Structure 1
């Protein structure tokens, strides 16, 4: 790579490539794969676990005093009180992977005092490496990437993800999907949210929205988008999407138009809404929100919390320019 990279980003890249090698080897013989169910339509394989282990081993070898928040092992490894937290999804798109559908990736983010500073998303099938450091831009392999310049939602290609877990509000999703689909040029749903966010950063998509995502799905991609000149928030355009488990992203113009459509569908996620998706930690089972909040030294929102009405970066836009 031509530009000099931050040492912590170099470690993230090393870890992501090691995990990608494990995933690529396993993809050659999917018949031998051992698959377990975390819940209906929610799978974990020995590949997820092996990839996560090599990522955490690589990180802790370099930074033994850092904290870890990982999809499969929660916070069971690493320091518990560090200001540095590595947020790891070893295989985003597991369902695609076990079917041999080649859209999946490794996602690694490093947060310092709650702010994502370094991000890597590695697509082992295509050997595509997306990476970003806060304040230094976003890259795909050696090429600087930027969000698209399309200004009208009617011309936009929009990515999404379908709800698939028990308890997801399918009817609510279908209504918003129908409204977005009729307002844009096309909707795509490949099935790996971390890659979807990188596709927004690279300008492949003009926008993206999804509900029910976990912090490790979003953390790396969120930095990729902001460093590529895009915006990311919850459905009302505010920045607490990690807790609300709803996310919308895009270039500034498309983001604004998506927020206008999606704002009526926002909801505050209560802790007990995701009780079935507990993350194992040393203190027992907690929800993803609680685990992330504890890891980042923040408080998860109270069950009856209302959406914050602080400054909104992008409010309702006037009609799109012709």
Structure 2
């Protein structure tokens, strides 16, 4: 597997998708709902089409799992694509959104690319090669205690189904830390843990395309990632906890209570 070629094609695909998002930002012609608060825009679908076209032109035999168009059968590896993570932000003209692209072989993530086009930030991680932001290596924070930490979380689209435990965990973390933020993009949340901006992140009811790229980037930057029980995290899990490692057990104790 030519991982350098995989990385470069992934970056090119993210940039092509990012250009479409930038073009449509603030100029949306149509927005529809997949659920009560789950939006999809013409920018999502056009970005995804450009990303898939870029990848398929170079790797026509590869499988693809994409948020909007689903599974495209193939072999020799699978690309996991979120063409616009943070659609609600995008639809409300908030620049906190990104393109997220991962490449996996046999369920093992080998490369992750997250591009926030309006922020000018490109996060890249390659298995066993570290993580970078705009070409510069990044690492998790050195915060040692939960009391000194800044956390980030997200609320799932079906939050009403888990509202009480969701708010219970949020309240415990809010009172035990320096603060909790909610940005609206799980991929960026994971990258911001990778870069030391946040010390930890947790969320429930995410999909593989939400976390695949950011998960690898965070891991390569030194993060520890599990489910709430402390068991290893895989991208098809229903919950995720990602921290700098030092505060991980403290955070798990709060989330598991």
Q: TM-score range by the shorter chain?
A: over 0.9
> For structure 2, which runs of at least 5 residues remain unmatched after alignment?
none
Q: How many Å apart are 1:263 and its aligned residue?
A: 2.4
Match of 1:180 in 2: 173
What's the CA shift string for 1:103-150, capped at 9, x where partnerless? 000000000111000000000111210001100000000110000000
Residue 248 of structure 2 is aligned to residue 255 of structure 1: yes
Q: How many Å apart are 1:259 and its aligned residue?
A: 1.2
Q: How many Å apart are 1:168 and its aligned residue?
A: 3.0
What's the CA shift string for 1:63-112, capped at 9, x where partnerless? 1110000000111x342xx1401000000000000000110000000001
Match of 1:134 in 2: 127
Match of 1:92 in 2: 85
Contact kept, 8 Å, 1:64 with 1:78, in 2: the verdict is: no
Please give the alpha-carbon distance, in whole angstroms, between the structure 2 residues aligned to 1:175 and 1:234. 17
Which of these residues, 7, 23, 28, is aligned with residue 25 of structure 1? 23
What's the CA shift string for 1:275-309, capped at 9, x where partnerless? xxxxxxxxxxxxxxxxxxxxxxxxxxxxxxxxxxx
Normalised to the residue count of structure 2, the TM-score between the two structures is 0.96
Residue 74 of structure 2 is aligned to residue 74 of structure 1: no
Contact kept, 8 Å, 2:186 with 2:211, in 1: the verdict is: yes
Question: Alignment RMSD, CA only?
Answer: 1.3
> For structure 1, which runs of at least 5 residues remain unmatched after alignment?
265-322
Match of 1:13 in 2: 11
Normalised to the residue count of structure 1, the TM-score between the two structures is 0.77
Counting only pairs closer than 5 Å after superposition, residues 120-269 of structure 1 correspond to structure 2 as 120-165=113-158, 168-264=161-257
Q: How many Å apart are 1:167 and its aligned residue?
A: 5.1
What's the CA shift string for 1:192-223, capped at 9, x where partnerless? 11000000000000000111111100000110
Q: How many equivalent residue pairs?
A: 255
Which of these residues, 73, 76, 97, is aligned with residue 104 of structure 1? 97
Match of 2:42 in 1: 46
Q: How many Å apart are 1:166 and its aligned residue?
A: 6.0
Please give the alpha-carbon distance, in whole angstroms, between the structure 2 residues aligned to 1:168 and 1:93. 21
For the structure 1 residues 100 and 22, does the alpha-carbon distance in structure 2 shift closer, same or farther, using more than 3 Å as the test? same
What's the CA shift string for 1:30-89, capped at 9, x where partnerless? 3xx2111101100111110000011111111111110000000111x342xx14010000
SS in structure 2 at match of 1:100: coil
What's the CA shift string for 1:225-264, capped at 9, x where partnerless? 1100111111111124533311100111112211121124
Please give the alpha-carbon distance, in whole angstroms, between the structure 2 residues aligned to 1:244 and 1:105. 22
Please give the alpha-carbon distance, in whole angstroms, between the structure 2 residues aligned to 1:83 and 1:228. 27
Match of 1:63 in 2: 59
Contact kept, 8 Å, 1:70 with 1:216, in 2: the verdict is: yes
